[in-house]
Structures are given as structure tokens and as C-alpha cells.
Structure 1
Amino acid sequence: MQRRLEAAAHAFIQGETGFDADFSTPAGEPALAAPDSISWRVFKNPLSLFVGGVAAVLLELAEPRVREGVWRNTAFRNDPLQRIRRTGLSAMMTVYGPRSRAEAMIARVRALHARVAGTTPAGLPYRADDPELLTWVHATASYGFLEAYCRYVDPLHEVARNRFYAEGASSAKLYGADRFPASQQELDILFVTMGDKLEASTVVFEFLDIVRRVRLLPPPLARVQELLVKAAISILPGWVRERLTLGDAWDLSRWQRRMIARGGALIDRIPLHAAPPAQACRRLGLAEDYLYARRR
């Protein structure tokens, strides 16, 4: 499994043209988050990143202005693998990349967002650089990644969960999400505030069809890709599932939940030397298995 995951990590990183995928240089340059952060711990697990990423996109697509901006102005429908690779590498650079390159990448993303604007079919105007929408996107991403890690890898206590959100506040503000929730309580308030704006859409099911049938995962995980999509739906708040009409057909059985959790815990103990977390550790003079050894 380690060899397959290593090969998949290498292919994932090298497959995005025009992206400087070497996280091991320049030597000694810190990242936006520290190596002992909860963020470095959570983002190293590829299984929970996939589950959390799908959950985050579902929450984003539930907001009509975000949905229109994402679905009509990105390559997801035509080339989902490229879009997922680009988004994943951006997340890796934000967490593990050297600060100078992370900030430069974020500046480029903000410049792209500044050019995206339009109107939803219902007549709602939107801008991709709207702080309210950026806050929703970044908050739901953090929610998805953290909930997936806690559900299917390692449950974190309240202090660690609050620390995770607090760690993400500085990078979220660099993206323009200046109202990013810095604690679990603030996130809960945001969900209440945004609740009435969320709605069902055929786009949600179009997205789910794509992530179920397109080969997005390496061989060790590809056979359970559809189950991982259901795992993503399982971590959505119950009222959001109802709003999006994601009913019982999307539930996991008890043995399926146990299987995914065992897989997530196993993968969390396998160092991937070609992946950004290990490269970032080398850049900072730490052992490649630092993030794995400290879990034992």
C-alpha cells in the first residue's frame, strides 16, 4: 500500500503543469502553519482529505452564489481531475509550503477571483472576491477536512478542534475571507447565519455523479471511491442533508463506516516521502516521518 500511495502522491503532484511542486526548498523557510500544528497533522491524510474535500464542495454548492461561481467558471465539469489536483495542491501549499511561495500563490488566486462576477439564475449578483462568500468557502473546507479526520481517522478533543480553526484564520484572511471563524463556536454561528441561504440543486447531484464515476483515487482507494463519497455525505450536518435531499440512499452501513475508519487510521501511520508533508519536514530539518512518529 505504501508503494502505491507513494506513486499516486508523486503522480498527483507532478501532474499539474506550471506548478512548482517541490515543498523541500528553500531550506529552513517556515510555512504559514507550524509543524506541530493541528493543521499539519490533519492535512497529511489522503483518505480524510478526499472525504472532507467532497463534503466541503457539497456545502459550497448549496449556496447559490458560490454554486454559480464555481460551476460556471471552473473546469470541474470538463476536467474534474485537473480541478481537484489544482485545488489539492493549493491547499497543500497553503499548509505546508514555504511562506513566500504560499503568499505568492494566494495573491495569484485573489487576482483570478477579482475577475469572476455574474448573476445567478434567480437574479442574485455575486463576485468571487466577496468576503462573505470567501468566508463560506474557506470555513466549509476547514469543516470538511476536520470532520472527516475526526470521524474516520482520529477524533480530536474540543481544544484541538478550536486550535485547528484558529490556525486557519490567518491564511483565510490572506485569501480575503476576513470573517473566517476562529473556533468551533464561531463556525456553528456561521452555519446558523448561512442556513436560510442554502438550497437544493441539480448541480449537487451532477457533482456527486462525477465524483462517483470518474477515477480520482489511486488503486488502494479507488475500489471504495463510491463509499468515500457516501462518507463525505455522512459528515454533513443533518439539516444540510435534508435541505439538499440527500436521503437514506446515501447512508453507509455500520461495517462500511468501520472499514473506512480502519483504513483512515492505517493510512495515517504510513509516511509518504514524495508527498508535501514529508517534503516540508525535510525543508525545516525535521525527520521525514516526524508527523507520523509524533503520533505513536
Structure 2
Amino acid sequence: VKGTASDGREYSASDPHLLRWVHVAEVDSFIRAHQAYGATPLDTAGYDAYVADMAVIARKLGVPAPPTSVQGLKDQIAQFRPELRGTTESRDAAKYLLLTPPLELVARVPYSLIAAAAIAILPTWARADLRLPYLPVTEQLVVKPIGQLISSTIRWATSGDFVSQAV
């Protein structure tokens, strides 16, 4: 994938710098999701081990100097922050994915619940750049419990318990 950003900069999906951004954003997102919706939170050493394991994969995919600890992950995200900004295109993409996804009407309700759970774990700065709402009371009382219920349901449905009960 190659293209031109809205400010005229050329980019390539194989650019090592961009690969590193995608890697740190992905790992950070998985950690945030696990902390919010996981069945059993990890301790600091567990999260550091996860980041280190992901670094092994990242290196094999061509990511230069991936972080190997949560602190390293936070540091690299902070290094990228000056490069990041909300654009018309990014806000349009978020609007499309969140408000008008290409789904049948019956699928939109569960999709919107999962999307709300995802928005709830975004960093404040990312949410602001995308102009996504911040509703802390609603997120704490409605979105987070629904996200936990969805996660629990998925864990149950993909466990051996569900399979043995279905047979």
C-alpha cells in the first residue's frame, strides 16, 4: 500500500517508521482492551512479558526497535504524538465505521455496542483528535459493563464449556 497523505507527504505501508507506529498502537490497544474487558488482569510483569512477546513478532515483520516493556511502549507512543493529528479523512473514516458501517440493520446493534466499548478505551488525545464524545458516567455505568458482558459471552462461546453444552 502506497499513497499520498492529505498534506502531500508520500507514504508506504512498508515504511519501518509507520510499521513501528502500527505495532505500538496495536499493542497498546490490546493492553487497554484486556485491562478493561479481560477476565483476569495481568500484573506489571505479565503486561511487560506480553509487550516483549509482541516485540519478537514485530522484529520478524520488519519493525525496527519495538518496545519490550510497557514503559517502552508508553515512551514510543509519546515519541509519535507530535506526528499524530486528526484530519478530515480520519474523522470521516471514524464516522463511517461508527455511524454508517456496511452492515445489515440486524448486525448494527451488537456492532454499535462493540464500537462503543472500543471508543471507551481510546486514549483521551485520540478521542479528541477524532472528535469522538467523552461521556464518563455513561461509559462507566453502561458501556464498560456491556463491554465486559460481550467479552464474557465471547469467552464462553469459544470455550470448551459451550461446545460440550451444545452437543
Bin the TM-score by the shorter chain: 0.7 to 0.9
Question: Displacement of 1:169 after TM fit?
Answer: 1.1
The CA deviation string for residues 229-280 of structure 1, in whole angstroms up to 9 with x for no partner, is 12212212112222333233696351232122122123223336xxxxxxxx
The normalised TM-score by structure 1 is 0.47
The normalised TM-score by structure 2 is 0.78
Match of 2:152 in 1: 265
Distance 2:111 2:143 in 1: 12
- Runs of 5+ unmatched residues, structure 2: 161-167
**182-191 or 203-212: bigger deviation:** 203-212
Distance 2:44 2:119 in 1: 22
Map 1:71-220; keep pairs closer than 5 Å: 116-154=1-39, 155-212=41-98, 213-214=100-101
Judge conservation of contact 1:227–1:252 (CA < 8 Å) in 2: no
Classify 1:259/1:118 alpha carbon distance in 2 versus 1 (closer, same or farther; 3 Å): closer
Distance 2:59 2:103 in 1: 30
Distance 2:91 2:11 in 1: 22
**Count of residue pairs the alignment pairs up:** 156
Distance 1:214 1:241 in 2: 19
For residue 268 of structure 1, give the secondary structure of its aligned residue in structure 2: helix
Distance 2:11 2:97 in 1: 26
Higher relative contact order (CA 8 A, sep 6+): 1
Classify 1:151/1:253 alpha carbon distance in 2 versus 1 (closer, same or farther; 3 Å): closer
Judge conservation of contact 2:86–2:130 (CA < 8 Å) in 1: yes
Q: Percent identity?
A: 26
Picking from 102, 107, 112, the partner of 1:226 is: 112
Match of 2:130 in 1: 244
- Runs of 5+ unmatched residues, structure 1: 1-115, 273-288, 290-296
Distance 1:211 1:255 in 2: 21
Higher normalized helix content (fraction of residues): 2
Map 1:272-283; keep pairs closer than 5 Å: none
